[in-house]
């Protein structure tokens, strides 16, 4: 009985995904953001430092940017969880 419970718990943990949160830098890399953006120079999309400057001091910058990316408003829609989007946006907003 205990072995069956351990197996079920392990299977549930595996199905839930990795047991750690990805860093913003990892999300930017794995979701393909770096194909169109760079930290310092404009590519297809704006440089992260320019995005950070534009949103500097805005109260809801993180939520606003995450929503744009999630919903595909003015940016290609990205298939990522809310936690991944927030981590990526935080990374972008701290770029100097």
Distance from CA of residue 54 to its chain's centroid? 19
What pLDDT is attached to residue 10?
A: 46
Q: 20 falls in which pLDDT band (50, 70, 90)?
A: low
DSSP conformation class of 94: T
Record the tokens describing residue 80, joined without a space.
């990522």
The CATH topology of domain 22-93 is Cytochrome Bc1 Complex; Chain D, domain 2 (1.10.760)
Domain boundaries, the chain: 22-93
Does the model's pTM come out above 0.85? no
- pLDDT tens figures, 48-90: 999 999 999 999 999 999 999 999 888 998 999 999 999 999 9
């Amino acid at each position: 009985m205990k072995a069956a419970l351990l197996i079920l718990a392990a299977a549930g943990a595996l199905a839930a995904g990795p047991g750690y949160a990805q860093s913003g830098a990892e999300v930017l890399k794995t979701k393909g953001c770096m194909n169109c953006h760079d930290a310092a120079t404009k590519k297809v999309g704006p440089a992260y430092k320019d995005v950070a400057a534009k949103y500097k001091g805005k109260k809801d910058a993180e939520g606003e940017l995450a929503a744009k990316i999630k919903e595909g408003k003015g940016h290609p829609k990205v298939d990522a969880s809310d936690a991944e989007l927030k981590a990526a946006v935080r990374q972008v907003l701290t770029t100097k």
